[in-house]
Amino acid sequence: MEKIIIDGGNALHGQVSISGMKNAATPIIFACIAVDDVCVIENLPRINDVEIALNLVKSVGGKVRFLTETSVEIDTRGVEPVSAPCELVRKIRGSYYLIGAMLARFGRAMVALPGGCDIGARPIDQHIKAFEALGASVMLDSSFIEARTETGLCGNHIYFDCVTVGGTINAILAAVKAKGQTVIENAAREPHVVDVANFLNYCGANISGAGTGTVKIRGVERLSGCTYAVIPDMIEAGTFMMAAAATGGRLYIRGVIPKHLEATSAKMIEMGVSVEEMDDAVLVTRKGPLSPVNIKTLPYPGFPTDMNPQVAVLLCLASGVSRLSETVYENRFRYTEELRRMGAHIQVERNTAVITGTDVLHGASVRAVDLRAGAAMVIAGLAAEGRTVIDDIFHMERGYVDMVGKIRSVGGNIRKIAIPASYDKEDFENGGSHERDQRF
Ligand code: EPZ
């Protein structure tokens, strides 16, 4: 078992480089199945979700070979229309892209229902609506989804009842080789939707309008392999922006696309934080007291739901009352209980957290209840007085490349400790002997 130990109070200063985007890399890896050729994907983040996606492609007959630490060759010519191992599929949310990719390639797919963070019901009814609109028949039971077409997929008009990133990407994947034109209305506009469309267009697809609410796909006969670099992770970048502000530091965050960070930057500037944009970097400096603000999470280009827990920590340190409304997921606020252990004043009323700022947070034993909540615990621990111990850090390993190493490189007093099963919690959390033996 591993824990993260943080001794708070150090302002973060220096430069961090942002890795490739988890939520773009995952669908692009699965999209290679629809391409049926050899592709090279660059700027790949080496995180658990990506490793699992690559293992899933291998499990259905793909070949994967790392050319460098962050570039991989994916050969899907040997992929068969078989079902991937359930235990692997259930580890990540993005495994549902197997359905769209297999449908495009073979006209059939049988996939266990996906996993992912416990932040809401997260149904896939809109994915099914898209597959059926394209002519597939879909069978769904409590653990599997099967989609197939005997006559091939045909382009159609798809109107999503809600804005769905996964649904939009899966519809694009399924439509890319369908006969005729597909029009997706009320499409998600996230940068990672655009990234998947760009990758497929590099392979010879005919997709237009990605990044707007209406995406048009004209089916093509064949796709060919390409070399493609994944966009930088806007949520990792936003997480470091919040860490810089929460600790009173100054961070040069490089390898980003500032446009993707606009909603996050705008709210931080409203709070009194300095955010300077360069071509491929942002410089974030905490100038003085933080002003309270009201934030509502929305689909892109609104304030990202995946930044909800991280910005909540900053609001806990503002000089007044803020309201943080979550409009995407119904169970996003589980992390607030952990922040209250650190002295935060947060009350959740339906989908809104009312946050009364305080001068200081204090270290405590907390849990990462999901991926972004874990990132928020790290930010809170860095800003707090005293020691914070974070449990269940496997959540963060899913979505952040070397988070501990990157934070240490800019002055954070943070380390990861392997804990023997029979450790003395009291002794450990007071810096007891176990810690000295186990540090690595
Ligand atoms: C993606 O999830 C991301 N995950 C999430 O990031 C992110 O929070 C989310 O998009 C929104 O930006 C991956 O890309 C792997 P949705 P996804 O479909 O595609 C409802 C992280 O921390 N909905 O846009 O599952 C759904 O319940 C993760 O990296 C339906 O009702 O999100 C939710 O309320 C967490 N029916 C809303 O739409 C459907 O068929 C948005 O979901 C699909 C979705």
Per-residue pLDDT tens digits for 220-235: 999 999 999 999 999 9
pLDDT score for 120: 86
User: Which residue's CA is the nearest one to ligand 1's atom 31?
Assistant: 123
Pocket test for ligand 1, best of 52, 96, 328, 329 (most atoms within 8 A of CB): 328
297 in ligand 1 pocket by Cβ < 6 Å? Answer: no
Say if residues 29 and 230 touch (Cβ distance below 8 Å): no
Calculate how far, in angstroms, residue 411's C-alpha sits from the geometric centre of ligand 1.
34
Report how far residue 262's alpha carbon sits from residue 208's, in angstroms, rounded to the nearest whole number: 23
Q: Residue written as tokens 């957290």?
A: 353
pLDDT score for 115: 82
260 in ligand 1 pocket by Cβ < 6 Å? Answer: no
As beta bridge partners, residue 183 has 157, 216
pLDDT score for 419: 80
Is 22-229 a domain of CATH 3.65.10.10? yes
Res. 424: pLDDT tops 80: no
pLDDT score for 426: 66
Q: Which DSSP category does 303 fall into? A: B
Enter the tokens of residue 330: 């119904």
Pocket test for ligand 1, best of 128, 165, 298, 333 (most atoms within 8 A of CB): 165
Q: Is 117 a catalytic residue?
A: yes
Calculate how far, in angstroms, residue 421's C-alpha sits from the geometric centre of ligand 1.
35
Res. 437: pLDDT tops 50: no
Q: Which DSSP category does 297 fall into? A: B
Name the average pLDDT for the chain. 95
Higher pLDDT, 101 or 429: 101
Res. 433: pLDDT tops 70: no
371 in ligand 1 pocket by Cβ < 6 Å? Answer: yes
pLDDT score for 202: 98
Please determine whether the domains at 2-10+291-437 and 22-229 fall in the same fold group of CATH.
yes
The domain spans of the chain are 2-10+291-437, 22-229
pLDDT score for 26: 98
pLDDT score for 436: 41
Say if residues 16 and 241 touch (Cβ distance below 8 Å): no
Report how far residue 154's alpha carbon sits from residue 183's, in angstroms, rounded to the nearest whole number: 12
pLDDT score for 119: 86
171 in ligand 1 pocket by Cβ < 6 Å? Answer: no
Calculate how far, in angstroms, residue 166's C-alpha sits from the geometric centre of ligand 1.
6
**Band (331; pLDDT cuts 50, 70, 90):** very high
pLDDT score for 142: 83
Helices marked H in 45-159:
48-59, 86-89, 97-106, 125-133
Q: Which fold has domain 2-10+291-437?
A: UDP-n-acetylglucosamine1-carboxyvinyl-transferase; Chain (3.65.10)
The percent of residues in the chain predicted with pLDDT above 70, rounded, is 95
Catalytic residue among 117, 203, 226, 316: 117
Pocket test for ligand 1, best of 50, 91, 93 (most atoms within 8 A of CB): 93
Calculate how far, in angstroms, residue 179's C-alpha sits from the geometric centre of ligand 1.
28
The 3-state DSSP class for residue 269 equals helix
Please state, as a whole number, how many other Cβ atoms lie within 10 Å of the Cβ of residue 186: 17
Calculate how far, in angstroms, residue 278's C-alpha sits from the geometric centre of ligand 1.
30
243 CB-side CA count, 13 A: 35
162 in ligand 1 pocket by Cβ < 6 Å? Answer: yes
Say if residues 217 and 181 touch (Cβ distance below 8 Å): yes
Res. 409: pLDDT tops 50: yes
